[in-house]
Each structure stands twice: as C-alpha cells, then as structure tokens.
Structure 1
C-alpha cells in the first residue's frame, strides 16, 4: 500500500484538515515529503503552495494522530527494548524516551521529559505496558533508574549492551537523520509540539515507512485504525 494512501485513510478517519482552496491530496503529499526529510520551503516549491500551508498540514496531522495516544495495538509482546537519548528544544537539553518491540520493530511509546530518574522511567514503562498483553521482558542498559523502576513494578528485565536492544538505538538514529536538518535542535516555544512531531514520526515509522526486514512497515495500520476509532467516537 502506498504511503500517501495510508495517510489519506488517516485524514479520512480523523479529519485534521480544515476545508480551503488547497486540495487535501497536496497536504497529504506535503506531510509525507516532510517526514521523508524535505524542508517546508522545499516542499512548497515542489507542490506550488506556501510553506505555511505545509507547516499547518504537518501540525494538524500530528495533533490528530496524537489525540488517541496509541502507537501500537495491544497484543502479546515478548521482548521490549527501552532507552532514552538527549535532544534539544530551543537549545535546552531534554530527554527523549522510546520503547520498541524487538520482534515486530514497532515503536510502542515515546516521551519527552526534562529529567531522567527512576520515577520517570517507571511512569514511561507503565505507558509501554498499555500496548502489551502478558509480561514482556524489558531490555535496558545499566542506568540505575531502570533497576529501581522495574523493581518497584515487579517486572523482569535484562541488561543488554548490544544485540536486540540495538533496535531502539537504530530508531533514534533514524529520527536524528530527519532532525539533523535543523541541527537536532527543535526550534519551538511549546515542547508539546515537539512531542507531537516525534509521535507523528513514530506513527510514520510504524505504518508508512518501508522496513528493509519486512519489505513494508512493521505495524498493521488496519488494526491500529480499528482500535483507535472507537476511542474517538
């Protein structure tokens, strides 16, 4: 299925765009090109629309996808890699957390926080568990906050330096390949916009971007839509 088709289905279901003279097909194409790495102005020249229109389309779709706060449907998951990385928002250091199903390669959750400690790690893990049936084993590095967080929750975890845990590090690299165009410094006064963009990027990674291992996206968009729509009605 073409990437524009999936985004079109999202637009049809969530209705993020207001009606105006710009055809929704151009907005959908603009969002897809932006997530692939083009700038607002580059896309504006290609599609012959204003860069503000492209920016608004990205923001509106990000808000719509973020609303249900579901990146992956709830199912049996065996191993989940969790990690965090440093990003900058207006020059200030922040922490981006991510969790990935090691087997399916789906991004299960993303968070942005101002600090990293066992309490934040615990709350993030609780969010990740919303996409899990059973009790998966978490793969983490040796950061002290993970040990305390899993102990408080009574969950199993493994310290892993290489191998399966690399899936979350690869996702960080994929994200930063996109954000290096603005020097990995998100220029936004509102950190929530950054969070919504990262969420949208994770959605694109799960359901639109072609994964070399599978020859398609790692997630099932039809399953996601089926779970999301009842929550929006």
Structure 2
C-alpha cells in the first residue's frame, strides 16, 4: 500500500517547499490553516467553524473565515496536488447533475484507478462541447496522457474522445462507473449540508479546493490496520503543516 511518505512529485512538476505568504493577515498561520482544514474536511458552515474556534479561545468572525477559505483553500489544494504521485494510466470519467441556485448544472469528474480525483468541472451542459472542454482541461492539469479512459454510454464522450485524444483507448459501458461515481459521494454529502450551491463560479471554486483537500485526509481506512491508519494520518498532517506553514493547531491562551 502506498503511503504519502513515498509520494513524489509528478514528472515535470516542481514542488515549492515554501508555504504561502500571509503578509498583511491579522491572524497567525496556525489559525488560518486550522479554519481551512475544518471547513473543507468536515461538513461545517463558516458560523460553525467560528463557534469551534471560539471554544478554543480564538475570536474570529465567520466572514473572515469565509475570506480565508476562499483565498487559501485553492492554494493549499494546488500544493497537495503537486505532491501527489503521477496519476495512473486508467482514467474514469463521469458526470452528475447538481443544483446551483435551483438550476440544473453538470459536475464532470475524472479519477484514476486508485480513486484519486484528477479534476472536476461545473458546466451548464453535457454535450460534445462540454466533454471536449473537460478533456482538454483534464489533459492540461494532469500533464500526462492516459492509456485508457472509461466512461458511460453518453455519446458526447465518444465524439470528444475522437477529437481530443484519438490515440487513447476508450471503453464505454452501461454499468456503473464505480471509481468515478464513488468519488461523487463526498460532494453529495457536502451539497446536502450546505443546502445546495449558490452560484456556478462559487461552486467551481469550492469543489476544486474541496476535491484537493478533503481526500488528503480520507485514506482508504478499510484497507488499513489501526496502527497503519494512525501512522498514515500523522504523515498527512505533517504534510499539511508543511504546505500551510503551520506548526500546531491553535489553543486557548
């Protein structure tokens, strides 16, 4: 089983070991990083994070937490993305409808054979143009070309595949695309907790950061012993402290 401690940078990608700059921020990095972790790891509202921080003796408003999550969340997710191993050569793609301000939109998602999220994209349609846009974005972000892509029977996939990656094997079937569909479950849970999404842009920003941060703290626990799980989580928390520049969770004075 692969541990984070064995993970290397993707080929062609560099990892900047320096944490992001917090110049001009009122609160110390430990508070910011802890708030971001709470919001993206657990189904908590900004007001609930505010309450948890108050219990620890830290007075920070929910609006400040919202701004810090918006500003730092994607930066943290990008750094975690760069530190992951190169994705597998078999990609599973799927799309699911979500409600954004009461309107139906489509969330496109790609994962590799290990279930690692490669990219997500919120779009208005699920036609060929939407599939083509997602394929191109996915290839650019992954910095690699898969051996196989697995999709459902949606015709848009076949048309976009022939145009964007004709040399890649394409497998489509009617059965469930379990790798990708299982990856939708945390998003569904968060969607219910948030009582729906409010805007397309906000949804894309939140889910991009969420898809990068949340899985970092969700190892496949059912495949691990308790000791192995604790070791793995210790490693992951150490990586989180490194990319955020934090040293320890905030405590009451």
**TM bracket (short chain):** 0.7 to 0.9
3-state SS of paired residue (2:219): coil
Gaps of 5+ in 1: 2-8, 227-233
Residue 39 of structure 1 pairs with residue 45 of structure 2: yes
3-state SS of paired residue (1:75): coil
Residue 210 of structure 1 pairs with residue 219 of structure 2: yes
Deviation at 1:123, TM superposition (A): 2.2
Which entry has the higher C-alpha Rg, 1 or 2? Answer: 2
Q: Distance in 1 between matches of 2:100 and 2:187?
A: 15
3-state SS of paired residue (1:31): helix
Deviation at 1:107, TM superposition (A): 0.7
Deviation at 1:115, TM superposition (A): 1.2
Give the structure-1-normalised TM-score. Answer: 0.75
Q: Distance in 1 between matches of 2:21 and 2:146?
A: 36
Task: Supply the RMSD in Å over aligned alpha carbons.
Answer: 3.4
Write the deviation string for residues 173-212 of structure 1: whole angstroms up to 9, x where unpaired: 11111221122x2124xx3222111010111134333332
How many positions carry a matched residue from both structures?
A: 209
Give the conservation status (yes or no) of the 8 Å contact 1:95–1:112.
yes
Deviation at 1:171, TM superposition (A): 1.2
Gaps of 5+ in 2: 4-14, 55-59, 244-253
3-state SS of paired residue (1:187): coil
Give the structure-2-normalised TM-score. Answer: 0.70
Give the conservation status (yes or no) of the 8 Å contact 1:122–1:150.
yes
**Which of 158, 161, 172 is matched with 1:150 structurally?**
161
Give the conservation status (yes or no) of the 8 Å contact 2:153–2:172.
yes
3-state SS of paired residue (1:186): coil
Residue 85 of structure 1 pairs with residue 91 of structure 2: no
Q: Name 2:6's counterpart in structure 1.
A: none
